[in-house]
Structure 1
Amino acid sequence: MSKPKQQKTNWMKVRKFLNDIHLWGGLISGIVVLIVCLTGTIYVYNTEIRTLAQPKYFKVKADGEKLNPDELLAKVKPEIKGKIVGIKIPFADNATTSVLFTKKEKEEGKESKGNKGEPSKEKEGNNATASPKAEKEANKSEKSNEEVAKGNEVKSEGKPSKEKKAPAGPAGGRGPRANQFAVNPYTGEAIGDPSDEKTKTAEFMQKMFGLHRWLLLNEIEEPIIDGVENRKLGSWITGTATLLFLLGVITGMVIWFPNKIRSWKNGLKIRWTANWKRVNHDLHNTLGFYSCIILFLMAVTGPFWSFDWYRAGWQKTWGTYKSPDAPKEEKKPLQSVLPLDGKQPLSIEETILAVNKILPYDGDISINFPKDSLGTLSISKNRVGFFAPSAGDKLTLDQYTGEAIEKDIFREKPFNERASASIKALHIGDIYGPFSKLLYFISCLIATSLPVTGVMIWLNKMKKKPKAAK
């Protein structure tokens, strides 16, 4: 009869140990977690908020038939001050078509000096200002499929660099990031580049990103700690707090697990009729349980942008790690075959038909034009819909025949490569489009409340201890 008692005692010791980790980890990281989760809640809908602030660049009235894309490009070409490198054709009837272009070097230099904004990226094929240095650092390990498909979508977080990155180059690589010039696909009206218009909303979202990522330490010029960049310091603080939060999620699940099966029912509901202390306790435990999977995903991916060792560790676990010191493999550039009969390159409309034949599903298509007569067409296509995955498929086509020289189909990749390429999507919530965004938004709200309800539980217990001592 003593054995079960001994087992129970051991479990109670383990439970108390985990409870202490959960408590002190939460108390140490509480304020930072509160800030990170609150800003993260707002930032889940970064793309949508920015679009609402500049609707004319992204939405049009669906009226009649859309113009032929080749005719559309010819019509708007005189309005674009720069080199046209591609076109983005959305599937939605009420969305603007975007012409991808790179500005002249002199203009880019001026913008880099005067613009201190911090661009953003998510499935936001529409936001854009200059490409941020911070975004480049964050994405070094990621090269995810959705990035190229969304072209210029990440341009508002971090200090812009003089060198713009992006869409794909003629052979499927990534060249300088292009700006997007919005065009009405029905009338051919040149609407403009949204990055040329500064809005209070964009400024606010940039602050939210800076607060979420670096606690706004990136805006302090003088180093707080000698030898450590303030941006890096802020990243370390938020990364450490996120690791403690991750530990809290894991230990919280073990602590929540009831000793008896009949107690499960109580752990899955909030007793609103009880006193406020009990309601607060249930809010912390029950809401934490319902959101634990998404909170785990957010917390386990967050430190990827804070610690090199953490990112490298996960990549080694997945088998996708590439040492920065390792010699780069020199790939022979993909080329189109020059036709002997003098055949002209495919038109945009013919290219779209070729893409839809290879990838027969509804989606947004980005076409990056070849640089020369031997260059290839670099294509990205992203599915659309409420449950549409953020990762897209990529093709490299012969510019004369439309034949696929190279295919990069996301679903056909091994699981470890898909997981490695989806880190950002898993962290920000657009892994499955609007559906997962909604789940992440709700879970982020819950995560914001956990430090508050947790501290209140601790304070209530502290008040009871003196009474028990008396």
Structure 2
Amino acid sequence: MKFSKINAWLHLWLGLISGIIVFIVSITGCILVFEHDLKDLLYPYRKAAITNNGAMLPPSALISAAEKAMGGLPARSIEYRLPGKTTQVNFQSDSIVYVNPYTAEVAAVVDHEDFFHEVEEGHVHLWLPRKIGSRIVVYATLIFTVLLITGIVLWWPPKWNRHNIRNAFTILWKGKFKRVNYDLHNVLGFYTLPVALIIAYSGLYMGFGWLSRSVYTVASGGKSMPAYYEPPSDTTTAAAGPKWVVLDGIWRQCVNELADKKSPAVLIGMPPGKEASVYAYTNMEGAYYQAHYFDQYTGKKLQGGGVDVMPFREANGGDKLRRLNYSLHVGSIWGIPGKILFFFGSLVAASLPVTGFYIWWGKKKKKKKPALNRQKQTV
């Protein structure tokens, strides 16, 4: 059997097998590209008028207000966002509390399982049990990658003459529906190939540990991916400082000293036990986040382990690729233009199983007609 026939056979049957999954994952991906932008647009409680000369209140004031709204339930983490946006306080519950960072007024108590949460559940594991659904999604993504490769082989013109070039790069909008459908599958599939490959690669990177480790080794010049390590707090200094004074000091240190751009976008996690450390992430509004660990009793900075503990500018290639992967997956690494590009890339990816199925169905019906005509002639 010729290579071209094997390639076409693979493209057809792998597409039929994975089509529905690719459609679900791609169409939910379109929405998630603009998740935070849409939330800020649709949910007024995510915005806060800048007062107090733009000075944000410390965690002690905001967490106290949030815990009071939750009936005394202890907070798990607090996330300061950009100026003009409310601070998010998370709990071991279904609720999230949004607090005005300038006045400590509670803006809203909301259920975290909103529309976007349900969309994410479908994108990550198809609304199935996470362990089962996530495996199906990652293997469907692998099949989709093979489809992209076999698709470009099918698209490639046998001869680069004017007629073939026009057919390969343009959609004949004046043609019949069958022809337009074919061009939508063939031409749009080609134009969005780079974006689709980046989305597929970054998804596989998150889904396959062997792939992320291999890429890390190559990008870092032969190093192994470092293990995550959260250093413990020194319990012998438990009386060194009051809880809130220490936490407020950690927040000020993050904003004023540790953030590359003096960014207020900081996530701070409460220690789950007496020996645990306080973790914090700075530069949370972009792709260049960094993890920090602190003694919960003294506020002393501790040395953790992992790919995200070094300042981004000092990290090796493997660390940088690991930290950039999510931003690469949704296109936010290039700002709004990147998001728009990835939105349309995901939309086209969602359309490919639909247009591809119609092409196959049309060929199937075409084959049946001659068989029926032959039967009529023999009667």
Q: Distance in 1 between matches of 2:297 and 2:135?
A: 50
Q: Which residue of 2 aligns with 1:312?
A: 210
Which residue type is aligned with residue 347 of structure 2?
L
Q: Distance in 2 between matches of 1:349 and 1:97?
A: 18
Q: How does 1:449-460 map to 2 (within 5 A)?
A: 449-460=351-362
Once the 2 structures are TM-superposed, how far is the Cα of residue 19 of structure 1 from its aligned partner?
Answer: 1.8
Q: Which residue of 1 aligns with 2:252?
A: 352
SS of structure 2 residue aligned to 1:408: coil
Q: Distance in 1 between matches of 2:103 and 2:228?
A: 47
Q: Which residue of 2 aligns with 1:186?
A: 102
Q: 1:214 to 1:367 in 2, by over 3 A?
A: closer
8 Å contact 2:233–2:296 — kept in the other structure?
no
Once the 2 structures are TM-superposed, how far is the Cα of residue 381 of structure 1 from its aligned partner?
Answer: 1.6
Where do 5+ consecutive residues of structure 2 fail to align? 218-222, 304-308, 375-379
Q: How does 1:42-441 map to 2 (within 5 A)?
A: 42-51=31-40, 54-56=43-45, 58-63=46-51, 65-67=53-55, 69-70=57-58, 72-73=61-62, 76=65, 79=68, 81-83=72-74, 87-92=78-83, 94-99=84-89, 102=91, 129=94, 181-195=97-111, 202=114, 204-218=115-129, 232-262=131-161, 263-302=164-203, 310-316=208-214, 318-319=216-217, 333=232, 348=248, 351-352=251-252, 355-361=255-261, 363=263, 364-368=265-269, 378-382=279-283, 384=285, 388-389=286-287, 391-396=288-293, 406=303, 407-441=309-343
How big is each residue's C-alpha offset from its partner over 1:303-346, in whole Å with a ceiling of 9 and x where there is no partner? Answer: 5676xxx43354245338779xxxx89886476998xxx9x967
Which residue type is aligned with residue 68 of structure 2?
E
Once the 2 structures are TM-superposed, how far is the Cα of residue 375 of structure 1 from its aligned partner?
Answer: 8.6
Which residue type is aligned with residue 152 of structure 2?
M
Which residue type is aligned with residue 274 of structure 1?
G
8 Å contact 1:312–1:321 — kept in the other structure?
no
Q: Distance in 1 between matches of 2:268 and 2:12?
A: 52
Q: Distance in 1 between matches of 2:87 and 2:211?
A: 41
Which residue type is aligned with residue 363 of structure 2?
K
Q: Distance in 1 between matches of 2:212 and 2:269?
A: 32
Q: Distance in 1 between matches of 2:64 and 2:179?
A: 66
Q: 1:346 to 1:28 in 2, by over 3 A?
A: closer
Q: 1:354 to 1:450 in 2, by over 3 A?
A: closer
Which residue type is aligned with residue 11 of structure 2?
H
SS of structure 2 residue aligned to 1:194: strand
Q: Distance in 2 between matches of 1:282 and 1:294?
A: 19
- For residue 31 of structure 1, the aligned residue among 2, 13, 20 is 20
SS of structure 2 residue aligned to 1:69: coil
How big is each residue's C-alpha offset from its partner over 1:126-161, in whole Å with a ceiling of 9 and x where there is no partner? Answer: xxx37xxxxxxxxxxxxxxxxxxxxxxxxxxxxxxx
SS of structure 1 residue aligned to 2:79: strand
Once the 2 structures are TM-superposed, how far is the Cα of residue 392 of structure 1 from its aligned partner?
Answer: 0.8
Query: What is the percentage of aligned positions where both structures have the same residue?
Result: 31
Q: How many residues align?
A: 353
Q: Distance in 2 between matches of 1:332 and 1:463?
A: 65
8 Å contact 1:79–1:190 — kept in the other structure?
no
8 Å contact 1:354–1:402 — kept in the other structure?
no
Q: Distance in 2 between matches of 1:301 and 1:410?
A: 19
Which residue type is aligned with residue 293 of structure 1?
P
SS of structure 1 residue aligned to 2:8: helix
Q: 1:330 to 1:270 in 2, by over 3 A?
A: closer
Q: Distance in 2 between matches of 1:214 and 1:360?
A: 35
Where do 5+ consecutive residues of structure 1 fail to align? 1-9, 103-107, 112-128, 131-179, 219-230
What TM-score, normalized by structure 1, do the two folds share?
A: 0.60
8 Å contact 1:345–1:400 — kept in the other structure?
no
